[in-house]
Amino acid sequence: MQWEPAMAEQAVAPQPDVPAETGAVPVLQVSGLDVRYGQSHVLQGVDLVVNRRPLSLIGRNGMGKSTLCNAIMGLVPAFGGSIRLHGQELIGLKPHEIARTGIGYVPQGRRVFASLSVDEHLRMVSGGGSDGWTIKKVYDLFPSLQARRRNGGTQLSGGEQQMLAIARALLLNPRLLIMDEPSEGLAPIVVEHMVETLHNLAREGVALLLVEQNLGVATAVSERIAIMVTGRIALETTSDDLADDEVAQRRYLGVSTHIGHTETPAAPAANP
């Protein structure tokens, strides 16, 4: 199995995000977001902005990254703060209402259904129109899915399941695509093709929030990087600056990409 992006041109890394013009509304703006699980204060005043260019959110396990995704999608309640998509407040909306505002969500672990074929997964969410993303267009993007359109979701490889999860989200014609740990469990060659596909989607105008533990994937996809530590955004920087900053890598991620240094990350906690 190979991940086969449809676009023939060579992928070009997205350019640095252009700061929003005065008065311009961000694609996604999270302000002062607090989320609690019982007595545990998981997200603590999170501020995050996604504009036209992809943003990667990275951090160790248990830092609150998946909780942030779930809060944006209305899957966990916010204790306080604001989440706005193109200026529209999302807090208080139900998950299906949030999806309809223009957010596509690719959850951690793909979450495909064993009882549904590839084609049934796609027809379940497709609006059936001819504008925007259609089943034909996602099959053009992922030819492997078309070849296996009659297979059940769990009969696919990990890479094919990730293609299906992305295709399912794209059929909602999202203005923003949120992806939680998309490289998890995938072979390096599959990850490489996935990164190329995300570059192509960015060129088509889909805003992207990529949540990752894999520093290499995060920096390959986006120029802007945010690092989450214990429920807060501890640092916002660029891919180049983070790649050159061994101290920041060790402090916030417990790893080092510099030649000659090996370090074992701290034992991960359960991801909220």
pLDDT tens digits along 228-239:
999 999 999 999
Q: Is 266 part of a structural domain of the chain?
A: no
Residue pair 208/222 in contact by the 8 Å Cβ criterion: yes
The whole domain housing 63 covers: 28-253
Residue 8 has pLDDT above 70, yes or no: no
pLDDT tens digits along 56-76:
999 988 899 999 999 999 999
**pLDDT number for residue 118:** 92
Q: Is 268 part of a structural domain of the chain?
A: no
Q: Is 4 part of a structural domain of the chain?
A: no
**pLDDT number for residue 130:** 60
Domain with residue 116: its CATH number is 3.40.50.300
Residue 10 has pLDDT above 60, yes or no: no
- Over range 8-31, report the average pLDDT: 58
- Over range 23-31, report the average pLDDT: 89
Name the percent of the chain lying above pLDDT 70. 83
Residue 167 has pLDDT above 60, yes or no: yes
Q: Is 258 part of a structural domain of the chain?
A: no
User: How many domains in the chain?
Assistant: 1
**pLDDT number for residue 219:** 93
Q: Is 265 part of a structural domain of the chain?
A: no
Indicate if the alpha-carbon torsion angle 20, 24, 25, 29 is positive or negative: positive
pLDDT tens digits along 243-271:
889 999 988 887 665 533 334 344 444 44
Cβ neighbours of residue 265 under 8 Å, at least 6 residues apart? Answer: 60, 253, 254, 255
Tokens matching residue 74: 């209305």
Q: Is 208 part of a structural domain of the chain?
A: yes
pTM of the entire predicted model:
0.81
**pLDDT number for residue 262:** 37
Q: What is the DSSP letter of 57?
A: E
**pLDDT number for residue 182:** 86
Q: Which of 8-22, 174-188, 191-205 has the lowest mean pLDDT?
A: 8-22
Q: Is 199 part of a structural domain of the chain?
A: yes
Q: Is 14 part of a structural domain of the chain?
A: no
> Average model confidence (pLDDT) for the chain?
83
Residue 51 has pLDDT above 90, yes or no: yes
Dihedral of CA atoms 118, 208, 27, 46 in degrees, nearest 10, equals: 110
Give Rg (Cα) of the chain. Answer: 18
Distance CA 217, CA 162 (A): 15
pLDDT tens digits along 102-148:
999 998 877 888 889 999 999 988 876 667 889 999 898 888 899 98
